[in-house]
């Protein structure tokens, strides 16, 4: 399903997608909204952002992902007290990524906001 969707966007170029997020971050809701069955961050879960950072750093060190671009969905932006995209980028250490293209998009999976903007990027 992914191959069909993304071949329309990028032609025959091989595309690999890693979906990473802690439990309750909204991964399933986002996939459902996109009607397909990237890193997702629960913007309201300040207590576990460090765990998310550690997992992300570990994944980005993998050989298969060394030259990949990084798209972060800062999910649950509709919840009061959610971290801003700037807070998340600092907490995840994205500002230190010098040799990798990355972007962070504010999303609300339950409302379907920001998802297509991120994929368009």
**Which residue positions in the chain have pLDDT lower than 50?**
35-37
Alpha helices in the chain (DSSP H): 2-10, 27-34, 49-60, 85-91, 115-120
Q: Which residue, among 30, 13, 37, 18, has the nearest Cα to 111 in the 3D structure?
A: 30
Percent of the chain at pLDDT > 90 equals 36
| Binding-site sequence positions | 75-78
| Binding-site sequence positions for GTP | 75-78
Residue 7 confidence (pLDDT) = 56
pTM above 0.75, yes or no: no
What fold, for 17-120? Rossmann fold (3.40.50)
pLDDT digits (tens, 9 = 90+) for 31-46: 666 544 376 678 999 9
Residue ranges of the domains in the chain?
17-120
Residue 37 confidence (pLDDT) = 34
Residue 30 confidence (pLDDT) = 73
């Amino acid at each position: 399903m992914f191959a069909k969707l993304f071949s329309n966007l990028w032609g025959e170029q091989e595309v690999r997608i890693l979906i990473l997020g802690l439990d309750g971050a909204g991964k399933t809701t986002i996939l459902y909204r996109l009607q397909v069955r990237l890193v997702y961050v629960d913007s309201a879960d300040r207590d576990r952002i460090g765990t998310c950072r550690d997992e992300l750093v570990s994944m980005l060190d993998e050989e298969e992902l060394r030259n990949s671009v990084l798209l972060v969905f800062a999910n649950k932006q509709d919840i009061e007290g959610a971290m801003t995209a700037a807070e998340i980028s600092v907490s995840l250490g994205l500002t230190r990524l010098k040799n990798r293209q990355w972007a962070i998009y504010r999303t609300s999976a339950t409302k379907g906001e920001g998802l297509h903007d991120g994929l368009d990027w």
